[in-house]
Structure 1
């Protein structure tokens, strides 16, 4: 049989009604069985992190207040589903474990990355047990198979070990089993729980899809697939019916929140179809991300993406390359995202987005040293397979916009995108104009007959 993996994020399992909608989708999509991956209930991960921070700061009573709120919330959802009696025996030891972990953090006066990962695993596991009961499936512990390194908080998978461990799962699922497991979690060779970091639940779903030889992995979220632009700036943005992995990777890099680069790599390796769909509107449009690029007219742009909060560091030509490279390394190690490093005879430009307090502190130190540092910038990207056939089309689109204050072009290694820097203040006007010219002004995206799927 062809195997499917379905993943439901926190917004798709955030309430009793959300669980019921997800159960209907599972019944429709997996009549002959398959694997379901679920995140923690919406807000649970943040609540556990707040509890860990309080416990690590020696405030155990405050940490336990978070625990009580977490317990009450889960009990309410389970009771509304009529499943409290069924899940209570599995939930009680999990919540007791979380209490012990918080107590240990308070005694040590520290919430270590390893301790936080162990605590976060409780939230994912509570949700998976409830989902198994709601969907009529069997719970399976993802840590049976998802082997990782020991980088707690941002673990990376051991692919060969994962494939080997997943073989019994594949046999059972192909025989018609319906299993529910956790997202976001892994385990080291020594048996310690890890988490996969940002986008971890999507990543675990696609990793499992790769290891199990799945034909399709579906990511169920709260939007109608991947859109042609941010609908908060472009109300007319619409779902993209089909897109290539290259387009998806570029959009992920340049701000599309529905996708994360780590979740796309397994599809590139294994060649399965990745689908993004809306739990709230299961019959609405959805996006298929295909290993074989769909046909696009030369120069066609599929989507306009952007990312705010960019800071620019300008190094004089006399500094050479070592100082900007050293700054880039320090910022990335502290948690910044690097969007560009442009070297020219006139000097070097480093474009970064500080994602963590530590990265912001490093950036402040560099600015205090006398380095020219500018905040308030954004990166904007035009993305489309059509640019592969006509890469100069993007420059023609930009030229038609007139005297925009462009801070630099960021071409990178991708042949399906071109990005540039603009002041954040220009986004409200620029993104709609780009979408109107580059997306709405092009022929409609079409699904070739040879690529339509049933």
Structure 2
């Protein structure tokens, strides 16, 4: 059994949706599960409407909602399924209008109502793809992911309840084992009180792998708009090349350090369950793809697989005279608020905490820490060299840092899995430094086989 996930750009246009339908027909001839994100741009439009409603500006909220509806009806008409999908969509559009009206009357968008509104984006796209597949003669049916994906009650960044997910997945396992073809939403879950939750940005990848784990899938495929996982960000390195095979450790390091193809939380179910994970391009289904394996592929000693970076990182410092306990307290606050931490160092020369505010709450904590007198330096980026070859020859990594000889490096950080070496540089140096590192560490090096 396979789970196929299609991101927003893979269902964002008529051409993309038709390609997705072709891929589903080819990959799931005996049935399986399809997970979809909202059409590209949908979540931003819903957020725009929510923000306007929370300020009491129902006119602006209505304009955003109308734009959202027009975009979806245009997509449905282009596919020739507008009348077929209408009975499914009209109640969803009415629900969104009601939610926005309520927010506008209260001048408030609670986390619970916000999640309820955001959930409509994924449900709209799932219903559209279901209808398209039916039109193509495939026996597709919509199943609401909230039947299975149980979470805690942290609206906006809910965490999965693995035991409850496994229990709830029983009927789905039985149906899929009989050859059913189901389409469901990514990004969504159900809190213990039955309300809708969301997993945060990028949560559709996590939905797909959590369902893959709960359903006993042999493989989960992530269909996106690039040819698998690349050796660098192609916007900075046009020569970046696909990585045919990589280890789960390499994928986790790349996700942590900013690679946008995979969401970091999506990899934990792969590690626990051991199913195959594939990343492929919806727009070039016969092109290159990346297979992510639990076991490490063969790498040359010192070989680097990819160069990744995370911009917008902050350095929190305390001088030797101050208590380093301040940094430990700050790290706890930031983690609870949803930040990513990249290093915590306490030395006789002082302490350093490296963090990235991933959420509005964590950004607020950073501002509060700065106001309290803690040194918070912004404008840094964490750059990482990633590769299983570093485990084979850890010392060789230092010889790869030649391009950094004239760079104002703030710190060097080594990952505990041994597959990454990271360092901090100013954000504004990325456009020059990433291509230089890619050329020095990857292009100039001999290549290993898959």
TM-score, structure 1 normalization: 0.94
Question: 3-state DSSP class of the match of 1:317?
Answer: coil
Structure 1 residue 437: Cα displacement: 2.2
Equivalent position to 1:170, from 173, 189, 195: 173
Taking structure 1 as reference, are residues 133 and 300 closer, same or farther at Cα in structure 2, changes over 3 Å only? same
Taking structure 1 as reference, are residues 147 and 367 closer, same or farther at Cα in structure 2, changes over 3 Å only? closer
Question: 3-state DSSP class of the match of 1:147?
Answer: coil
- Structure 2 equivalent of residue 344 of structure 1: 347
Instruction: Summarize deviations over 1:285-325 as a string: whole Å, max 9, x none.
Output: 00011111111112111111111112222211121221112
Deviates more, 1:308-317 or 1:142-151: 308-317
- Structure 2 equivalent of residue 85 of structure 1: 83
Instruction: Summarize deviations over 1:50-69 as a string: whole Å, max 9, x none.
Output: 11111121122221221111
Question: 3-state DSSP class of the match of 2:331?
Answer: helix
Structure 1 residue 117: Cα displacement: 0.7
CA contact (8 A) 2:119 2:196 kept: yes
- Structure 1 equivalent of residue 123 of structure 2: 125
Asked if 1:240 is matched to 2:243, the reply is yes
For 1:211-360, what aligned pairs fall within 5 Å after superposition? 211-360=214-363
Pairwise CA RMSD: 1.6
Instruction: Summarize deviations over 1:107-156 as a string: whole Å, max 9, x none.
Output: 22210111011111111111101101112311111111111111111111
CA distance in 1, matches of 2:111, 2:25: 38
Gaps in structure 1 of 5+ consecutive residues: 448-454
Structure 1 residue 369: Cα displacement: 4.5
CA distance in 2, matches of 1:225, 1:135: 25
Question: 3-state DSSP class of the match of 2:399?
Answer: helix
Structure 1 residue 327: Cα displacement: 2.4
Structure 1 residue 400: Cα displacement: 6.7
Gaps in structure 2 of 5+ consecutive residues: 135-139
CA distance in 1, matches of 2:244, 2:277: 12
Asked if 1:418 is matched to 2:405, the reply is no
Aligned length: 445
CA distance in 1, matches of 2:367, 2:188: 34
Taking structure 1 as reference, are residues 365 and 163 closer, same or farther at Cα in structure 2, changes over 3 Å only? closer
- Structure 2 equivalent of residue 451 of structure 1: none
Asked if 1:51 is matched to 2:49, the reply is yes
CA distance in 2, matches of 1:361, 1:34: 43
Question: 3-state DSSP class of the match of 1:36?
Answer: strand
Instruction: Summarize deviations over 1:353-375 as a string: whole Å, max 9, x none.
Output: 23345544443444344443332
CA distance in 2, matches of 1:150, 1:355: 19
CA distance in 2, matches of 1:206, 1:416: 23
- Structure 1 equivalent of residue 98 of structure 2: 100
Asked if 1:153 is matched to 2:156, the reply is yes
